[in-house]
Amino acid sequence: MRPRKPCYTNIIGTITNTIVRSKKKPTPNIINRFEALARRITLRTILILVALEGALGIIFAILVGVIYTQISDDTSAVITATPPPPITNTQVDATRMDTPQPTPPPTSDPALITYDTSGVYAFPVANDPAQYVWTHYHWDDTNAIDIEARFDLTRPEFDQVTSALLVAITNGIAVNYSGSIGGQGYMLHGDDGNDYYYAHMSEQWVADGARVTVGQVLGRIGNTGNTAQFIEPHLHLSIGPRDTLWESQPSINAAEWMQATFNLSWEERPAATPNDTSPGGWPVQHPALEIVTTFDQAEAKGLPQPALEFGFTDSPPATTLDVIATLSGVVNVIRWTDDYDTRIQINNNGTLSTVVISGVTEWLVKDGDLVEQGQMIGRWNPAERATLHYMMYVNSAIVDPTPTLDAN
């Protein structure tokens, strides 16, 4: 509804009638004066109302302009907003990831690639297979294998073997398959109908979904992933029929497939059944040895694997010290890691206990050895490495080893 405009004639009439109704009848001169006064008042009122209407119009126009500008700015902000960053491989587990950014891969020496007699398949590492070992079954009793550097290598040989190139086992499509558990990797959809899963790679050079040929370089051996980052670089390999490895354990035994395809045998390790013992005692014995970092202090630092640190507050002894097994069990030696140097791990499945002694200078045991509690397993030179790390797991959880030090 349109607003009613003021009727200026009615205003004049109202004033005149009021004068006429007064008890004292006004003379015509008085009436004329009042009518003139009313007209002057009405004129002023008209001018004031026109001025107010103009001011309100200006204010209204300003408000409309401000609102329009704000809406325009907001719309522009929405249109030009930067999309959220893509999910990284630390946020998901075993999930198909964004396409890796391929870089020009180094040229592999064809002489380093081992093919089967038909030329259809290639050993996945572009290096002499004799430099590597794997077991019949994975450590978790599945059909996967970990292709690792053999035990008797020098440090330069070890560095070369654990940084070798990885190649396509057969013709197929390489799908990027990276996650926080398996680290960087590919699912190779082979033309033979099988899938080949490569895990823990340090570098990837093939774009997601790219067609690859047998022996083509895919990347490099590594130790990416939440747990693999603390162990030696190696290739985790799983084999299974098409699309079965996404959700299930491999149904094809990779060690047996290697033997049938390349005539390469796995390493047999004797079945070891240690005595059911719990961890106890100090891994190194010396009257001046102290705990220089407590478990609580290590936890406060936010370390992913908190441990005790042993060392000397005064000058360390000039000789090497014996490293003692604090648990009966099966040995796994992890050589020359970036964070902890060489580590000796002892597992006892009977008590679900594991101890890890890191920073040893020399090791006297090898993978698969059965050791007894109190047995000498290595040496530590505190003049070369100031501290020795000691970590303990019970039921797969890291615990404080301090209460066990004086157990035996």
Q: What is the pLDDT of residues 167-187, one digit of tens each?
A: 999 999 999 999 999 999 999
- Let me know whether 353 and 225 are in one domain: no
pLDDT of 279 above 60: yes
Q: Cβ contacts of residue 275 below 8 Å, gap of 6+?
A: 328, 350, 372
Instruction: Evaluate whether residue 90 is within a structural domain.
Output: no
- What pLDDT score does 340 carry? 81
- Tokens encoding 311: 């060392």
Q: Quick one: pLDDT band at residue 68, thresholds 50, 70, 90?
A: very low
Ranking 39-43, 120-124, 361-365 by mean pLDDT, the lowest is: 39-43
- What pLDDT score does 102 carry? 55
Our count of domains for the chain comes to: 3
- Let me know whether 234 and 119 are in one domain: yes
- What pLDDT score does 208 carry? 95
Instruction: Evaluate whether residue 87 is within a structural domain.
Output: no
Phi and psi at residue 207, to the nearest 5°: -70, 150
Phi and psi at residue 183, to the nearest 5°: 65, -150
Range 105-119 average pLDDT: 85
CB 388 within 8 A of CB 292: no
- Let me know whether 64 and 114 are in one domain: no
Give the mean pLDDT of the chain.
81
- Let me know whether 252 and 295 are in one domain: no
Instruction: Evaluate whether residue 244 is within a structural domain.
Output: yes
Amino acid at 139: W
Identify the domain boundary among 246, 262, 278: 262
Q: Quick one: pLDDT band at residue 407, thresholds 50, 70, 90?
A: confident
- Let me know whether 99 and 76 are in one domain: no
- Let me know whether 163 and 66 are in one domain: no
173 forms bridges with which residues in the sheet?
189, 211
Instruction: Evaluate whether residue 272 is within a structural domain.
Output: no
Instruction: Evaluate whether residue 268 is within a structural domain.
Output: no
Identify the domain boundary among 80, 113, 134: 80
Range 58-81 average pLDDT: 41
Rg of the chain over CA atoms, in angstroms? 41
- Let me know whether 58 and 113 are in one domain: no
Amino acid at 11: I
- What pLDDT score does 99 carry? 53
CATH (domain of 219): 2.70.70.10
Question: How many CB atoms within 10 Å of residue 183?
Answer: 22
User: What is the rounded distance in angstroms from the CA atom of residue 201 to the CA atom of residue 190?
Assistant: 19
Q: Which domain holds residue 139?
A: 95-262
- CA 395 to chain centroid, in Å, comes to 24
- Let me know whether 157 and 123 are in one domain: yes
- What pLDDT score does 91 carry? 31
- What pLDDT score does 55 carry? 54
- What pLDDT score does 369 carry? 93
- What pLDDT score does 85 carry? 31
Tell me the angle at which helices 8-20 and 28-80 cross, rounded to the nearest 10 degrees. Answer: 150
pLDDT of 12 above 50: no
- What pLDDT score does 153 carry? 94
- Let me know whether 325 and 242 are in one domain: no
- Let me know whether 242 and 113 are in one domain: yes
Q: Quick one: pLDDT band at residue 16, thresholds 50, 70, 90?
A: very low
Prediction pTM value: 0.69
Range 258-285 average pLDDT: 91
pLDDT of 28 above 80: no
User: What is the rounded distance in angstroms from the CA atom of residue 96 to the CA atom of residue 179?
Assistant: 8
Instruction: Evaluate whether residue 35 is within a structural domain.
Output: yes
- Let me know whether 231 and 330 are in one domain: no
Name the region of 275 (left: φ>0; alpha: ψ -120 to 50; beta: rest): beta
- What pLDDT score does 101 carry? 57
197 forms bridges with which residues in the sheet?
187, 238
- What pLDDT score does 136 carry? 95
Q: Quick one: pLDDT band at residue 95, thresholds 50, 70, 90?
A: very low
Range 316-333 average pLDDT: 95
- Let me know whether 256 and 332 are in one domain: no
pLDDT of 304 above 80: no
The pLDDT tens digits of the residues spanning 198-253 come to 999 999 999 999 999 999 999 999 999 987 888 899 999 999 999 999 999 999 99
User: What is the rounded distance in angstroms from the CA atom of residue 195 to the CA atom of residue 143?
Assistant: 14
Instruction: Evaluate whether residue 86 is within a structural domain.
Output: no
Percent of the chain with pLDDT over 90: 63
CB 185 within 8 A of CB 163: no
Instruction: Evaluate whether residue 366 is within a structural domain.
Output: yes
SS3 of the chain: CCCCCCCHHHHHHHHHHHHHCCCCCCCHHHHHHHHHHHHHHHHHHHHHHHHHHHHHHHHHHHHHHHHHHHHHHHHHHHHHCCCCCCCCCCCCCCEECCCCCCCCCCCCCHHHCCECCCCCCECCECCCHHHEECCCCCCCCCCCEEEEECCCCCHHHHHHHCCCEEECCCCEEEEEEEECCCEEEEEEEECCCEEEEEEEECEECCCCCEEECCCCEEEECECCCCCHHHCCCEEEEEEEECCCCCCCCCCECHHHHHHHHHCCCCCCCCCCCCCCCCCCCCCCCCCCCEEEECHHHHHHCCCCCCCEEEECCCCCCCCCEEEECCCCEEEEEEEEECCCEEEEEEEECCCCEEEEEEEECEECCCCCCEECCCCEEEEECCCCCCCEEEEEEECCEEECCHHHCCCC
- What pLDDT score does 110 carry? 81
Percent of the chain with pLDDT over 70: 73
